[in-house]
Structure 1
């Protein structure tokens, strides 16, 4: 049975600002609501990947192998910085048409290359499973609930951005937001490089 403590913990994790939030907002600003929702869907697929990896014991590898951890965080950091540079480059340009495929990919990559996503399944889930580790169904139920919470929250973020779209579409505002988003993504990328295994 899903506990209230688990739901509240998942909410806290989702509400915590990080690279997923930055990527979702970036894609929403870049190409509108459909692109933002595509990024949310991509992020959810990334969570499915980590849930599957957790059942296979691969998330433990991220925690115990220095090489695996280093490769993951470097790839993730480079990708975030690349997204940030792209945001800087498009500052002030005319908004491009929605490219859902690219936005979906951005959501997937941002999640799959995030060591903290692995830690979510490695450190959080065992605390809410039975003492014997539980069954596959127990783990799957927790994963589905966590993904539903994550998907719902980030979808609301996309809708919030869409609601103030007219204001955000003003050239001066868009220029400032693109630069701010680009800066945030680069900062997150650099911060990821400083992560240690103890942090996840």
Structure 2
């Protein structure tokens, strides 16, 4: 394995493992729908990243960066969505209620389907234009000069997305493993409250993003 690829893997691992909106959303959805919802959220996030990677490879991100109105629209829509999800978590924390839908790997769970969890993952990621700028600035640095630019950037993008899927899925398994503890009413309220505040804070941060 050559040095540029190792460096790319190292940088990607640091970025992916740093807690952010994807981590907070995965925690929220795993708590709400069990391991399957957590993995579905991870798949949604990775799909959103793949779309940004394709856009970066095709040069479409440059259009986004140049179009102030489009950039702002995506930014504020994504921020509003994160804040909305955060408010939902805060409401659950304040009410201290959990809608029981049977038993799953986390015990008594809410009615969050894998389809809804996947949709939330992809919408959350696509609503963060920072990811577009990130892919457009990161991937070209690791493309060999002799390699076809599109194919090389897509290859790196797929690797990044696969690493994200694996990490967030592992995170979902860890949350599930601690399921009995996390589903204690008092603990659940604390987790919902912290997750809600984190999502709202991340939404506000996204709204303040500059190019």
TM-score category, normalised to shorter length? over 0.9
Q: 4, 7, 15: which one pairs with 1:5?
A: 7
Which whole-Å CA distance do the structure 2 matches of 1:122 and 1:132 have between them? 19
Q: Does 1:79 align with 2:81?
A: yes
TM-score with structure 2 setting the length: 0.88
1:1-200 map, 5 Å? 3-91=5-93, 92-94=96-98, 95-131=109-145, 134-197=148-211
Cα root mean square deviation, aligned: 1.5
What is the deviation of 1:130?
2.3
Most deviating of 86-95 and 70-79: 86-95
Change (3 A) 1:75 1:98: closer
What is the deviation of 1:132?
6.2
Secondary structure of the equivalent of 1:32? helix
Unmatched runs of 5 consecutive residues or more in structure 1: none
Q: Which portions of structure 1, spanning 4 or more consecutive aligned residues, are displaced by more than 4 angstroms?
A: none
TM-score with structure 1 setting the length: 0.93
Q: Is the 8 A contact 2:57 2:154 kept in 1?
A: no
- Count residues in correspondence: 197
